[in-house]
Amino acid sequence: MRMVDLIIKKKHKGELTKEEIDYIVTNFVSGEIPDYQMSAFLMAVCFQGMTKKETYLFTEAFAHSGDMVDLSAIKGIKVDKHSTGGVGDKTTLIIAPIVASCGVKVAKMSGRGLGHTGGTIDKLEAIPGFKTAIDRDEFFKIVNDIGVSVIGQSGNLTPADKKCYALRDVTGTVDSIPLIAISIMSKKLAAGSDCILLDVKTGSGAFMKTVDDSIELAQEMVDIGTSCGRKMAALITDMDIPLGNNIGNALEVIEAVETLKGHGPEDLTDVCIELAANMLYMAELGTIEECRKLAKDKIHSGEAVAVLARMADAQGGDGSYILDPSKFTIASIKVEVKAPKSGYISHMDAEGVGIASTMLGAGRETKDSIIDYGAGIKLIKKTHDKVNEGDVIAEFYTSKEELTEPAKKRFLESVTISDADSKVEPLIYARVTADKVERR
């Protein structure tokens, strides 16, 4: 078999066989297939797509390219969730402790920031001492004792995805439905949970910009997981507007803690309650409405925030930062960004806001960049707010003065101020399961 023939076959929209797919994955991971051939193949997939069968076979081959985690040492039902990525998306830090405080186990492997989107592992590392790399026995012990542990992907989990994602990031081949489905579902299948809830983001800050594309991606992933014997559901949630008000690692942990204490922004709180309720429902703790109430009760009783503090302590971090988030150090340079004119913020391009936050030091410009955990953006005004010229719309935090001007320019290019407001869109657009799509 020759890789060049398989690239040409895909270029002409041919359907690859299982043997051909296994050949590509095995030889790409071993290094026999060079990055330039894989890049050409990925671009062909972006233009020609994949059949459902190919997507499934690639997912299986990616999942089995490394370790398959066996979670049977953890007692009870294990529920996982995965977001397709967004700006200000700190939901895992809120949902995982809520679900764990209801007695459902969350053994979660998360990722780092990617492009303009943040990553849970970077956020957790903003807690002093927090270890995101711990051995498997310790991980299982923490989940058994506290109900939740969140770690980075272990060394040999889906190496095919690790290599492929790095290539996609720099070859313009991220926003392909089959490639995203393979990437996410291979990791979720390898990570071993019984139930998987997908949070498929849609809008200007998401990889999928339209609701229809997001539903198609959700269906593809739900079908793959269902075929592999997992209980699956997906929520299509808004990412046209950054979620919550804080963007940047320490700032997002602070906002997550405020939300867990019942004082979070409304959009973030509502999305988290809905996601947590769906995870609890999948674990069969009641009807969706009963599970919503359960999730809210765990916030109001203080049990959920206590679980996050215990998890931080168990993973080597200082849990007192969770109980008292004023202890976090925020970057010392603060710059206010003001509205250039009066009107309504009719649109705030979430991707642009995420890029501005990265430019302040909150994300990586290159693979090897060092993150400034205290850097980021606090949004004072968001889409649909009325502003007067000169009103502060955002506060920037950074450790390097020279980063502020370019970031401000990028941020202001992302904000549209108009005489009239734009249409208010829902926070949750749809719920997708194996047999139906319920649009809201």
Least Å from the CB of residue 188 to ligand URA: 9
Site for ligand URA in 202-221 (CB under 6 A): 207
Mark whether 105 is an active-site residue.
no
Q: Is residue 161 flagged as an active site residue?
A: yes
Number of residues in contact with ligand URA under rule CB under 6 A:
7
Distance CA 83, CA 268 (A): 14
Closest residue to ligand URA, judged by C-beta, is 183
Calculate helix-pair angle for 91-101, 266-282, nearest 10 degrees.
40
Residue 147 sits in the site that holds ligand URA (CB under 6 A): no
DSSP state of 435: S
Give the DSSP H/E element, type plus range, for residue 344. strand 343-348
Rounded Cα distance, 59 and 54, in Å: 8
Judged by beta carbon, residue 85 or residue 242, the one nearer ligand URA is: 85
Is 183 marked active-site? yes
Write down the least CB distance from residue 325 to ligand URA, Å.
Answer: 28
Q: What three-state secondary structure class fits 131?
A: coil
Nearest distance in Å: CB 181, ligand URA: 8
Rounded to an integer, what distance in angstroms lies between the CA atom of residue 337 and that of residue 407?
Answer: 10
Binding marks (x or -) toward ligand URA, 174..193, rule CB under 6 A? ------x--xx---------
SS3 at position 242: coil
Question: CA-CA distances (angstroms) from residue 182 to 109, 165, 185?
Answer: 17, 11, 5
Q: Is residue 324 annotated as a catalytic residue, yes or no? A: no
85 makes contact with ligand URA (CB under 6 A):
yes
Question: Rounded to the nearest whole angstrom, what is the least distance from the CB of residue 388 to ligand URA in the complex?
Answer: 38
- Regarding 164 and contact with ligand URA (CB under 6 A), the answer is no
Whether 82 is a known active-site residue: answer: yes
Least Å distance, CB 172 to ligand URA, is: 13
Q: Which of 80, 89, 122, 161 is catalytic?
A: 161
Closest CB to ligand URA among residues 180, 191: 180
Contacts with ligand URA, 95-124, as mask; x by CB under 6 A: ----------------x-------------
Q: Are 351 and 393 in contact (CB under 8 A)?
A: no
d(CA 105, CA 173): 35
CB-based contact 192:107 (threshold 8 Å) = yes
d(CA 408, CA 426): 29
The catalytically annotated residue of 187, 378, 381, 382 is 187
Which strands sit side by side in the sheet containing 246-247, from one edge to the other? 246-247, 376-379, 392-398, 333-338
Catalytic residues: 82, 161, 168, 183, 187
Site residues (vs ligand URA, CB under 6 A): 84-85, 111, 180, 183-184, 207
